[in-house]
Amino acid sequence: MRHEQMEVWQRGKRLSVDVYRELHSLRDFGFKDQITRSALSIPSNIAEGFERYTEREKFRFVSIAKGSCGEFATQALIGMEIGYIAEQKGTQWRNEAIQLSRMLGALLNALASGQVKHKS
């Protein structure tokens, strides 16, 4: 399966696009850089993993994507608390990050059990 066909990649990409669009005018460049990087890391690492040749590498990059979900959810919470992100938007993002993390956990379990095979 190609990464573009996976719901988890598609949703991660949509989240990243939404974060970039929502925060385009934020002037705290340090915070903006960090949160956009963590959001971008989710679909990017899924893609990189599925372009690798070994199952071990695929697992590693999907695991990094899962970690980025936790990083992003934390940054969204902080962004809400300091007033950079509206509560409704931040809650939406956090809920999506939690869902993506669960999906990636299931994908990692499938990879570990050999249920997902590498296809170019």
**47 is written with which tokens?**
């893609």
Residue 119 lies in a domain: no
pLDDT in tens, 73-110: 999 999 999 999 999 999 999 999 999 999 999 999 99
Domain residues for 70? 3-112
pTM of the model: 0.92
Residue 104 lies in a domain: yes
pLDDT in tens, 4-49: 999 999 999 999 999 999 999 999 999 999 999 999 999 999 999 9
Residue 30 lies in a domain: yes
b/e code 57-79 from CB counts within 10 Å (16+ = b):
ebbbbbbbbbbbbebbbebbbeb
Residue 117 lies in a domain: no
DSSP secondary structure code for residue 90 in this structure: H
Our count of domains for the chain comes to 1
Residue 118 lies in a domain: no
Residue 49 lies in a domain: yes
State the CATH number of the domain containing residue 63.
1.20.1440.60
Residue 25 lies in a domain: yes
